[in-house]
Amino acid sequence: MVLPFGLDSDGHNVAGTQSMVTPTAPPAFLMHGHTNVSTVVPVIPSPYIDFIVVNGDDRCMIRCERKAVLENSVELAKLIRAGPNSGRKGDNHFQISNVNKNDFELVIRFLETKFVRYRDHLHILKILELADRFNCPDLVIHCIRELDLQLTSAVVIDIFRSLWFYQSISVPNHHQLGAVITTQESSGNKKSKRKTTHPQSSSTVSAVTTAGAGAGDNANTDPESSPFTAEEFGMALLINSLQLIDMHAQLVLNKPQINELRFEELEMIAKREALQLSSELVLFNCLADWSVAECQRKKLDVTAENRRRVLGPLCYAPRYLLMNVNEFRKACDRVELLDPVEISLVNDAIEGKKLKNLTPEQNQLLEKFRTPRPEFPKMPIHLSDRTNPKNYPKKMRRAEKGASGEDGCWSNFGMNCLAVFACIFD
Give tens-digit pLDDT for 204-262: 333 323 333 333 333 333 333 333 788 899 999 999 999 999 999 999 999 999 999 99
pLDDT of 84 reads: 75
pLDDT of residue 408 exceeding 50, the answer is no
Instruction: Pick the more confident residue, 202 or 104.
Output: 104
pLDDT of 213 reads: 35
Please provide the size of the chain in residues. 426
- 101 vs 85: CA distance, rounded Å: 18
pLDDT digits (tens, 9 = 90+) for 77-124: 998 888 776 555 557 788 899 999 999 999 999 999 999 999 999 999
Please give the full DSSP string across 291-357, using - where no structure is assigned.
HHHHHHHTT----HHHHHHHHGGGGG-S-GGGS-HHHHHHHHHH---S-HHHHHHHHHHHTTPPP-S
pLDDT digits (tens, 9 = 90+) for 308-335: 999 999 999 999 999 999 999 999 999 9
DSSP designation for 7? B
Mean pLDDT score of the chain = 78
pTM reported for the whole predicted model = 0.73
pLDDT of 290 reads: 97
Instruction: Find, among 323, 331, 326, 321, the residue nearest to 362 by Cα.
Output: 321
Annotated domain spans of the chain: 33-96, 393-425
